[in-house]
Chain A
């Protein structure tokens, strides 16, 4: 059973709901070590994505991902828009011309997404950024079904996000705090793990 454009839209709706639900948590995480707008920005971005789906329904998984990408880039300020936007943009390009996504396609899309985030943000593993959630997720992303791949990725992302707590930030606004950035989870890593969890839960249904 592959993942169709329709399935992907369902997953993105779940992502939007998750982001809305965790909006305050993300704001608080970001307020501790950033400028406090991460939850607000992502929530606004994914609400705009839902509005874009109302306007026109993309007819392939790649087109769904592209709509998410361009909307996030246009609507989300700060670093999150360009970073998540590029992640979805690269994922879209990776699965171009495929009507349904199988487990290998999902792994490929996640790998491309990580490549986009690294290219755009220039962050490395351990810098206390979303890369710390996405990189282990990509490494763990394997399985016989889409649901298995995403469950493994989500678990690894969650562990990766937890592991950012003691880290000292070396990229992004949190890096201005130096040592004081330790002791807080990175909001970008947290939102990445939330996104992957939402994808995994939809795939498991």
Chain B
């Protein structure tokens, strides 16, 4: 299956390579290409470097470009004029690239991948800082709905499971990416709750933002046609210690 590729446009070759390194760990099957620095190894952006990076990243499903500073955006825009199916994401470079990579790994198209990157701007997703949303509505709402769903009469009511994390780092980097990827492929809206915080199950950054560690218990709720499968998938991943 061909996936959307990513190009990281940066003024620095080292910065671009570092962002690619982080993203590659989260999304092993996505082509993420670094396009940083000038042709002679200096600080700046180079049109030819970006142009060939786009070609390299395009596997037929299109390319999403991320950039660090203003003039990198202009170079990216010009390079995109030569490409068949390329989009620019206005997103923070590291968070945006990671979110885009996970989304692309899950098989999203260029528009969805761009949105995933841009949603990372308001990171971490729906997660509220501790205490800023006392007795947040989602929590009460979910619990109430579960009581109803016990009768199996309402298809739209969220199903919910409690899962204890037994791996050491909990829902951090790789495990969070693993969950987000698995959820992206399912037709279900998945929310992970930890304390007062909630996170979209498809958002690696929001999941990481929960700060759930080994030994912590999270609640996972899901709605949609594949809600049950989503919950089972989460439970399976946790039972396998997220393949850590």
What residues of chain A have their CB less than 8 Å away from a CB belonging to chain B?
A: 66, 70, 73-74, 82, 85-86, 89-90, 93, 120
Contacts and interface: CB of A to CB of B under 8 A. Distances in A.
A117 to B, nearest CB: 12
A90 B51 contact: no
B194 interface: no
B48 interface: yes
Nearest to B79: A73
B82 A73 contact: no
A74 B39 CA distance: 10
Contacts of A120: 74, 77-78
Interface in B53-103: 74-75, 77-78, 81-82
B46 interface: yes
Contacts of A82: 74-75, 78
Contacts of B82: 66, 70, 89
B78 A89 contact: yes
Chain B contact patch, size range: 10 to 19
A70 B51 contact: yes
Contacts of B51: 70
Nearest to A75: B47
B47 A74 contact: yes
Interface of B: 46-48, 51, 74-75, 77-78, 81-82
Contact of A70 (B47, B74, B77): B47
Contact of A74 (B46, B74, B77, B81): B46
B48 A85 contact: no
Contacts of A89: 78, 81-82
A122 to B, nearest CB: 11
A93 to B, nearest CB: 7
B8 to A, nearest CB: 20
A82 B79 CA distance: 11
A82 B47 CA distance: 10
A86 B48 CA distance: 14
Nearest to A119: B77
B55 to A, nearest CB: 13
B78 A86 contact: yes
A138 to B, nearest CB: 19
Contacts of B75: 82
A93 B77 CA distance: 15
A74 B78 contact: no
Contacts of A73: 47, 78
B83 to A, nearest CB: 12
B48 A70 contact: yes
Contact of A93 (B46, B47, B74, B81): B81
A70 to B, nearest CB: 7
Lowest 10 A-B CB distances belong to which pairs?
A73-B47, A74-B47, A89-B81, A74-B48, A73-B78, A82-B74, A86-B78, A82-B78, A85-B78, A70-B47
Contacts of B74: 82, 120
B71 to A, nearest CB: 9
A56 to B, nearest CB: 15
Q: Most chain-B CB neighbours within 10 Å: which of A70, A73, A93, A120?
A: A73
